[in-house]
Every structure is written in C-alpha cells, then in structure tokens.
C-alpha cells in the first residue's frame, strides 16, 4: 500500500488516441488507485484509445472525458504517459497543449514520462526547469530552455519527469508525493 493518501483527489491521465506506452499508463494509474485517488482517462477524442508494448499493440482503454470538456479546476493532478506516437500526437493537439500549459502554469502537480515531455516543449513551459525524458528528446528540451539531465526521476516545483518504463517505481513515488502535498 502506498505511503501517500490521495483520498478525494482526482488525477487526469491525458493521452492521444494511440501509441500510449501501456505500462506508463497502467502502473501510475494503479498507484493512484492504491493511494485512494481517482484516476480518469482524458483524451483528444471520445471512444477508446490504443496502448502499445513498445511497438506492439496492447490493450485498448475507454476514455472518460475529452480534454476540450475538462477544466483545470476539475482535477488535482495530471499524468502524461509516454510512447513516441502518443507524445507526438498530443503535441499536435491544440486542446491538449493548451490544457497542459494552463495546468502547469496553475502550479498543479504534473507528471510526465518518456516521450510525453514533447507536450511541455510545445506548451512552452520548460524554460528554466530541470527535466528528464527519453534520451532522444534531450535536444528538444534544451532548445526549449530546459536543463535536461539523465536521471530516473526529476522533481522541479510542480513537475515530475522520468525517462522510461524502468523508472516507473521512482516516477510513481514522486507523483504520489507531489499530489498528496498539494
């Protein structure tokens, strides 16, 4: 059982319609539930989203809410799972980018893993922040004004960033701590 208590807290998991790295969605989701929080799946479209195990199709998940219909005040924390296609598709969605920008600027707990920091770049909220990601995003994050480091998890204010599925235990620990403290 997690040490943090997220009772009464709602955490939005924002994903595109496909290419979500399944472990980076399901493991943090489970951690939020075990801590007493309520996770909701938010996407750019209603219906189902397709997750992957790296390059192989995995499970589908039903969307709870479309990002256009979600207000920053409706949730206590935000998770952006990775997957290269997921991060790439999210950063091309004006609604997703706008939501992430408003959420981060509101100072609310935001946890991003793997390729999802591309959305932070697009939202222009990396400048002056210390972050990590999948290594191929290093130059993008630096060009956006961030300080990229190769560490399993980085906490900078209201941001938690992590590199890959192997880092999920550290990612979950910091996500839960940040949301519990908010």
pLDDT for 2 equals: 58
| Catalytic status, residue 169 | no
Residue 42 · residue 65 · CB < 8 Å = yes
**Over pLDDT 70: what percentage of the chain?**
99
| Catalytic status, residue 92 | no
DSSP-assigned letter for residue 67: G
Q: Which residues pair with 156 in a beta bridge?
A: 159
Q: Which of 11, 96, 114, 180 is catalytic?
A: 114
pLDDT tens across 56-83, in order?
999 999 999 999 999 999 999 999 999 9
pLDDT for 163 equals: 98
- Computed over every residue of the chain, the mean pLDDT equals 97
pLDDT for 3 equals: 82
pLDDT tens across 87-107, in order?
999 999 999 999 999 999 999
Dihedral of alpha carbons 60, 33, 100, 173, sign = negative
pLDDT at 182 over 50: yes
pLDDT at 1 over 70: no
Q: Which of 9, 91, 115, 164 is catalytic?
A: 115
This prediction's pTM? 0.97
Instruction: Give the tokens for residue 65.
Output: 């809410």
**Which among 139, 145, 110 has a CA at the least distance from the CA of 124?**
145
CA separation for the pair 35, 103 (Å, rounded): 22
Q: Which fold has domain 10-181?
A: Rossmann fold (3.40.50)
Domain residue limits, the chain: 10-181
């Amino acid at each position: 059982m997690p040490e943090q208590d997220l009772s009464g807290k709602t955490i939005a998991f924002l994903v595109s319609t496909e290419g979500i790295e399944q472990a980076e969605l399901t493991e943090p989701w489970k951690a939020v539930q075990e801590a007493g929080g309520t996770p909701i799946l938010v996407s750019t479209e209603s219906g189902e989203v397709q997750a992957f195990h790296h390059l192989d199709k995995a499970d589908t998940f039903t969307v709870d809410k479309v990002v256009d219909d979600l207000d920053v005040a409706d949730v206590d924390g935000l998770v952006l799972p990775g997957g290269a296609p997921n991060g790439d598709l999210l950063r091309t969605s004006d609604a997703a980018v706008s939501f992430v920008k408003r959420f981060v600027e509101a100072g609310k707990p935001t946890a991003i893993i793997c390729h999802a920091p591309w959305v932070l770049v697009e939202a222009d909220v990396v400048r002056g922040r210390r972050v990590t990601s999948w290594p191929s995003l290093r130059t993008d994050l630096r060009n956006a004004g961030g300080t990229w480091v190769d560490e399993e998890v980085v906490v900078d204010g209201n941001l938690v960033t992590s590199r890959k599925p192997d880092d999920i235990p550290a990612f979950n620990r910091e996500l839960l701590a940040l949301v519990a403290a908010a």
